[in-house]
Amino acid sequence: MSQAQTASAAPWDAIGHRERWRTVAILTLLFILSFIDRNILKLLVEPIKADLGATDIQISLLVGLSFSTLYSISCVPFGYAADLFSRRKLIGAAVFCWSSMSMLCGLAGSYWQLFAGRAGLGIGEAALQPSAASLIRDSFPPEQRARAFSIFGIGPLVGSAMAMLAGGFLFSLAEQGHVRAIPIIGALRPWQFALVVPGMVGLLLGMLVLTLREPPRPRLPKGNAPSFGDTFRHMRTNARLYFLVFAAPTIWSLAGSGWTAWMAAGMGRSWGMSPGEIGPMAGTIALVCTPIGMIGFGFLIDHLSKKGRRDAILQVTLAVQALHMIPAMLIFFAPTPQLMWIAYGASMLVTGTFQIAASSIIAELTPSHLIGKTIALFSMAQNFLGLAIGPTIFALVSSGFFVGDRAIVNAMLLCYPLFIAIAMALAYALMIARRGARAAGNPAFA
């Protein structure tokens, strides 16, 4: 227990078992929704290019930089707010904001209007992760956090899968003329319709967060509100650990953002498939395989940790990521579309546990009164240095070193394993550093 908690009972003691898991369920649903809104654009690359006359480089900026720049910057004030104000109210306001911006993206009539809408989407979504991490941290005792964060951690993966599934369904529905009778949105282009509808759904689902019960905040030893200065001072006491726990997932995100940004386009260019064909199949496969893998590995980590395997969280992460690389590379080497989909499903089953490891270790290192700001800094690094530039790096390698319809596929096959290898090396270094900190009696590991 940290110093911030010594003066009062643990905050999770005030939250019942059922309420804890209901909190995780609602937060995960909203996390899924956020990734539907941000990732559905990736399925619609080709029709957007055709309608707006955009290049691959412009599309990469639309997918990455436009969203991630203001998202990363906004994480800082929202992280500060998460440590001071009602977390459920912050999340409720955020859902309303990003859902509205998602609808505005669907109404865009030019590249720059869509770019601006994506930037606004990033501002709205920036409040979710710091507030949600703070709620989970204070709702669960340490021995249950890996499971809680593993369930919350399926949000990006299930949300990305749902973006493919829902995006393909909505695109096909509009393309075939089934929505023409609906006022206003029925007259939109198919890709616009696919962006507007999830935003409308989000306005309704956002009300669920207002039913959550917040755990009490641990009483601080001083009456002054914690600042980012306090956060940086705390991080300096474990500088090597914080650097590695930030760096490994950031490089992993860079690799993953580039890979997923171009996955649908790469499949389409390799096999001549349309978004309406790729989305439902890719989304269904990921929707089945991803939760099984993520939740299963979260339970495995907690099970091994209870048996005294203190390095289990990183050992499992490294093993899973190594397994993932085999089917991931086979996706574009498969001789038939059927075998390609099998490889895709296998890659989704073992897609990686970097986020579970990072969230759990940050919660382990960080006192409750600093967790919102720390997660905000983590999100800023991961999004600005990872998600924002990943798609553009892949596009630049594609245009600079390859030619033809499969240029982006060749860039994916070159960049993805390289960055994943770097992330795994950093994760291994984190495991060694964490082991050394425990041996030295670091109080965070008491």
218 part of a folded domain: no
Q: What is the pTM of this model?
A: 0.69
267 part of a folded domain: yes
Using CA atoms, how far apart are residues 78 and 131, in angstroms rounded to an integer?
Answer: 8
Kindly list the distances between the CA atom of residue 15 and the CA atoms of 18, 19, 84, 180, in Å, as whole numbers in the listed order: 8, 6, 19, 48
What is the residue-level pLDDT of the chain in tens, covering all 446 positions? 343 444 446 666 567 678 888 889 999 999 999 989 888 888 888 888 888 888 888 888 887 778 878 887 888 888 888 888 888 889 999 999 999 999 998 888 889 999 999 988 888 888 888 888 888 888 887 777 777 887 887 787 788 878 888 888 898 888 888 888 888 888 888 889 989 999 999 988 888 888 888 887 766 555 455 677 888 888 998 899 999 999 999 999 899 888 988 888 888 888 888 777 888 888 888 888 888 887 787 778 778 877 878 788 888 889 888 999 999 999 988 888 899 999 999 998 887 677 778 878 888 888 877 887 888 888 888 877 777 788 889 989 998 999 887 898 899 999 999 999 999 999 999 999 988 888 887 766 65
Which candidate, 244, 381, 235, places its Cα nearest to that of 317?
244
Using CA atoms, how far apart are residues 352 and 47, in angstroms rounded to an integer?
Answer: 31
Output the six-digit token pair for 189: 């282009």
Q: How many CA atoms lie within 13 A of 244 on its CB side?
A: 18
274 part of a folded domain: yes
Domain of 385 in residue numbering reads as 14-213+227-435
Q: Given its phi and psi angles, is residue 2 left (phi above 0), alpha (psi -120 to 50 degrees) or beta?
A: beta
Using CA atoms, how far apart are residues 327 and 252, in angstroms rounded to an integer?
Answer: 17
The CATH number of whichever domain residue 99 belongs to comes to 1.20.1250.20
358 part of a folded domain: yes
DSSP 183: T
Given a contact cutoff of 8 angstroms between Cβ atoms, the answer to whether 75 and 130 are in contact is yes
Using CA atoms, how far apart are residues 103 and 88, in angstroms rounded to an integer?
Answer: 23
At residue 258, what are phi and psi to the nearest 5 degrees?
Answer: -65, -40
Which candidate, 98, 418, 377, places its Cα nearest to that of 231?
377
3 part of a folded domain: no
Kindly list the distances between the CA atom of residue 324 and the CA atoms of 158, 279, 418, in Å, as whole numbers in the listed order: 17, 21, 14
289 part of a folded domain: yes
Q: Is residue 360 helix, strand or coil? A: helix
What is the total count of domains within the chain?
A: 1
6 part of a folded domain: no
Render 373-433 in DSSP notation, one character per residue.
HHHHHHHHHHIIIIITTHHHHHHHHHHHH--STTHHHHHHHHHHHHHHHHHHHHHHHHHHH
Given a contact cutoff of 8 angstroms between Cβ atoms, the answer to whether 14 and 215 are in contact is yes
Give the containing element (helix H, strand E) for 434: helix 407-439
2 part of a folded domain: no
Using CA atoms, how far apart are residues 393 and 400, in angstroms rounded to an integer?
Answer: 10
What pLDDT is attached to residue 225? 59
Letter for the amino acid at 251? I
Give the containing element (helix H, strand E) for 101: helix 87-106
